[in-house]
Amino acid sequence: MTLPRTAPRPARRAAVAAFVVLAATVPLTAGAAGAAGTQAVDAALPYVCALPSGEQPATVRISATLPDRAVAGEPVRPADVTTTVELPEQAVTDLTALGAAGVRAATRLAVGVAQGEAAAEAVWRGDTEPVPLPPSGPLTLAATGDVPTVTGRGTHDLTFTAGSLTVDLAPSTADGGATDPASLTVPCRLADEAPDGGRLAAVPLGTDGSGGTESPSGSPSGEPSASGTPGQPGGDDPERQGERAPKVAEPLPGGGTAERAAPTCKYDAKYPAGPMSLNAYITGYANVNKLDGAALIPPFCTLITQGEPQFEFLPDFSGATITQHSTADLWYQQRKRTPPFQATFLSFDFTPTKATMVLEQTGPMTIDSNGFTDFAFTSTDTYVRAPITLRVTALEVNGTPLDVGTECRTRTSLASPEPEPEKYPGDHLILHGRGEQNIGEPATGYLLLSGGPLTGEVTIPAFTGCGTADGENLDRLLTASVSGPGNYVKQVQGQACFVSAEVLNPDECTEDAQPKKIPVAER
């Protein structure tokens, strides 16, 4: 069970460290195989998926191309990765019960990457095109996407093994609207009968491009260990001491990798850190229904003041509810806003329109988490509420710039359906995330510390202030082409950096107290 972070305590830090080991694993890079050939991965594995109606068997086919050998110290990147999930007919029944006629999916496959006894984890992400629900039979979802690169740090084989899978579903009605709820998260685990424990492939590694020195079984081929006993790591041998976990490096949207592919995200004199301060990057997509498209919001900074968790135990102490109230602010160049971002759409289905936009926070942002634990399993629902206006700073229609002036924005905040309007009055964006965790296992979904996907639905209000005194009033043009209800939003928060720790966790934070994890947007 992962509990929220509070003021540093040695025992607590030790408990959190176990979670951070998983959360901070880094992704896979292109290149690195040199002139090596390739090997094809094509594995059909049995899984068990937790559908709304209960657990059901599923088949997951994983295909990819890997080099047939690689060089230690150079990144290896699986290519042509496709994760095809075949959910049973019951999944169609569950979605149909929500009023869905189609569905879009995003997958997150945990892939264990090991060298000898050293291991790390990469997440192979993918997303699908919209798929109509079949009238009968299973639901097949084929997801593709960029995956991390992995860099081996020794001469043992790099082995890739499939692990847990999460399928995020965004069902839609026959007219293209969102269902209620607007999204579902389906966790899946590898079935016990999976052949070879889900092993996908092994890439031999060498130091000169000639390939590895290891046998397919994973044991060194006649290579003595430092202790003098074949096959046992340890001792003073430099090769054994250098046996570290493979390095994983996340891909950037559009390809490539980078350590700091995001704006500065740190506390400063204008916004000083406190004893419960976190910071984290967020990125994602926001649909614009009228334009039949989505805008990518690149990584932006959020500064978080974490509240103390409150526990209320059951009378027999068999479990407890957990509540936590935190606050947060967007932060870019000492203002409560995102960096500018661009999106291009076809207005009225035929006119290419490019807009440069900024999201501005206009009031307090709150993060409320409510969970329950039986001390073996914990589930948490988190709601982020923020008054956010959309400002347009530049507009280009069919290649012609239009002067929108300096005050072009939505009249009011983006507005989500609020289930408790008396408690939370006024217009505001609402994003929801659900996290679950069995003790001793990695968390799935969203938790404040580890991050994860947050989804919601917003109405984009009418625009005002668009245009100049001596030019055309563009309020009606933007309102007609953009404003309206039912716009699906999916944001992904990265691992938070606990900047108030006595010693910064290098898996969470850079040396200058910025979040180390830069998330990748998911559709």
Is there a single domain that holds both residue 221 and residue 291? no
User: Residue 97 has what DSSP assignment?
Assistant: H
Is there a single domain that holds both residue 201 and residue 292? no
The residues with which 502 forms a beta bridge, in sequence order, are none
3-class DSSP state of 16 = helix
Is there a single domain that holds both residue 61 and residue 198? yes
Q: Considering the domain boundaries, does residue 140 fall inside one? A: yes
Is there a single domain that holds both residue 475 and residue 408? yes
> Angle at CA 85, nearest 5°, toward 80 and 90?
165
Q: Count Cβ atoms below 10 Å from residue 235 Cβ, excluding itself.
A: 13
Q: Considering the domain boundaries, does residue 5 fall inside one? A: no
Phi and psi at residue 108, in whole multiples of 5°?
Answer: -135, 105
* Whole-number pLDDT of residue 202: 93
Q: Considering the domain boundaries, does residue 119 fall inside one? A: yes
CA distances from residue 48 to 109, 275, 397 in whole angstroms, order as listed: 14, 42, 49
Q: Count Cβ atoms below 10 Å from residue 196 Cβ, excluding itself.
A: 10
* Whole-number pLDDT of residue 355: 85
Show the domain range for 307.
Answer: 283-498
* Whole-number pLDDT of residue 28: 28
Residues sharing a CB contact under 8 Å with residue 188, sequence separation 6 or more, in sequence order: 47, 48, 49, 50, 58, 60, 85, 164, 165, 166, 167
Q: Considering the domain boundaries, does residue 503 fall inside one? A: no
Q: Residue 97's domain is classified under what CATH number?
A: 2.60.40
The residues with which 108 forms a beta bridge, in sequence order, are 125, 166
* Whole-number pLDDT of residue 34: 33
Is there a single domain that holds both residue 215 and residue 343? no
* Whole-number pLDDT of residue 457: 95
Helix ranges (DSSP H) in 214-301: 238-241
* Whole-number pLDDT of residue 251: 54
Q: Count Cβ atoms below 10 Å from residue 142 Cβ, excluding itself.
A: 17
Q: Considering the domain boundaries, does residue 9 fall inside one? A: no
Give the integer Cα–Cα distance in Å for 460 and 416: 9
**Residue given tokens 């799935």 in the structure block:** 444
Q: Considering the domain boundaries, does residue 435 fall inside one? A: yes
Is there a single domain that holds both residue 202 and residue 291? no
Is there a single domain that holds both residue 178 and residue 293? no
Is there a single domain that holds both residue 34 and residue 119? yes
Helix ranges (DSSP H) in 138-274: 238-241
Is there a single domain that holds both residue 346 and residue 434? yes
Give the integer Cα–Cα distance in Å for 472 and 427: 29
Is there a single domain that holds both residue 442 and residue 305? yes
Give the integer Cα–Cα distance in Å for 493 and 302: 9
Give the integer Cα–Cα distance in Å for 173 and 185: 18
Is there a single domain that holds both residue 303 and residue 389? yes
- Write down the pTM of the prediction: 0.54
Nearest alpha carbon to residue 145 among 200, 77, 199: 77
Region of residue 185 (left: phi > 0; alpha: psi -120 to 50; beta: else): beta
Per-residue pLDDT of the chain (523 residues; tens, 9 = 90+): 444 454 443 333 322 222 222 222 222 222 233 334 789 999 999 999 999 899 999 999 999 999 988 888 788 888 889 999 999 999 999 999 999 999 989 899 999 999 888 888 888 988 888 899 999 999 999 998 778 888 887 778 899 999 999 998 888 888 877 788 878 889 999 999 999 999 999 999 875 544 443 333 333 222 323 223 333 333 333 344 345 677 776 554 434 333 445 888 999 988 999 999 999 999 998 988 877 777 888 899 999 999 999 999 999 888 999 999 999 999 998 899 998 888 776 555 456 777 889 999 999 999 999 999 998 999 999 999 999 999 999 888 777 888 888 899 999 999 999 989 999 999 999 999 999 988 878 788 999 999 999 999 999 999 999 988 777 888 988 898 889 999 999 999 999 999 988 889 988 998 889 998 888 888 7
Q: Considering the domain boundaries, does residue 268 fall inside one? A: no
Q: Considering the domain boundaries, does residue 93 fall inside one? A: yes
Residues sharing a CB contact under 8 Å with residue 122, sequence separation 6 or more, in sequence order: 25, 27, 28, 110, 111, 113, 147, 148, 150, 248
Task: Compute the 3-state secondary structure of the chain and give helix, strand, coil in percent, each to the nearest 5.
Answer: 10, 45, 45
Which of 234, 249, 264 marks a domain boundary? 249
The residues with which 291 forms a beta bridge, in sequence order, are none
Q: How many domains does the chain fold into?
A: 2
Is there a single domain that holds both residue 198 and residue 291? no
